[in-house]
Structure formats: C-alpha cells, structure tokens
Amino acid sequence: MTQERTGAATFKGNPITLIGPELKVGDQAPDFTLSKNLVEDASLKDFAGKIKLISVVPSLDTGVCDAQTRRFNVEAGELGDNVVVLTVSVDLPFAQARWCGAAGVDRVVTLSDYKTRSFGEDYGVLIKEFQLDMRSIFVLDAKDRITYVEYLPEMTDSPNFEQAIAAVKALL
C-alpha cells in the first residue's frame, strides 16, 4: 500500500497530498530510473561516486521552477567536477531540452519522471492531486546517503539555496 501524507504541503495555501515516504538525513537514497530523453534512461548508478544535488520542481515552465533551475545552474559551475546537479520534473524530456536551450542552462542535468512517477513516489514528492513532483531538494554524498533534505511546505515557495549549497560544500 502506498503511503499518503495528506496536508504535508500546500499549493497557494490549499492542502495537497504527497505520495510516498518522507526521506530523512541519513537514509540511503532510493535508486531511480528517469528519462534523459525519449529513448534513454538514467539511474542513480549513472552518477556513482559523485556528490549529487537533486533539485525537484513541478514544471520548468513556471516562474519559481525556472528561477530555481537557473540558480542551481550557476551554482553547478562553481562546485567542481565531483558534484552533479540533477533537476527532476514530470515535464517531457523534449520540453526540458527546449527549456534548457532557451534559458541557456547547460550545467544541470534534467531528468524526467513522466513515464511512471516512480521517483516522485519513492522520494515522497508525488502530488496526488496534480501528478506533479513537489518542489524539494536532496543532497546525496558519494555513496548515495542523504545528507540534506528540504521538502517545501508550500509549492510556490523557493528552496533555501544557501543551505543546500552549504550541504554540498560540506561534502567536498
């Protein structure tokens, strides 16, 4: 049975239900299979040995998600080769590619949860009402242990960029 967390977050002040567990610092990050494009997938193993900042957004075509991804793209350029910044959304892979091209985003790896929404369920961020992934941040060490997690209480709020980047830098 899938765990539901009713009222775990809000959208414009209205309660929404998140599907899946609430992951905590110290947990082993669940593996995932996400779409890089329509025929190629990526999993957590593809980034083995790297520190990972996973930025989850509902849709790149919204203002807060756009700003969040642009900010982490800038930060990614200053974190070094041992760090990978992944942006996960349910946007189709070609929409993600179009957005990245138009926004000049080239340091963030975009991955799509559109096929199965399994990332959303496994990471506890799938919004039942919208079938989108809730804005959240996960920092994983090189062995895929979660060292920082931020589940945003309000879907339209921005994450704490400074804390997320500090969590990455603490692992360098």
- Cite the active site residues: 65
Helices (H), 11-117: 63-76, 93-103
Question: Pick from 61, 171, 78: which is nearest to 87 by CA?
Answer: 61
Question: Pick from 139, 154, 105, 164: which is nearest to 7 by CA?
Answer: 154
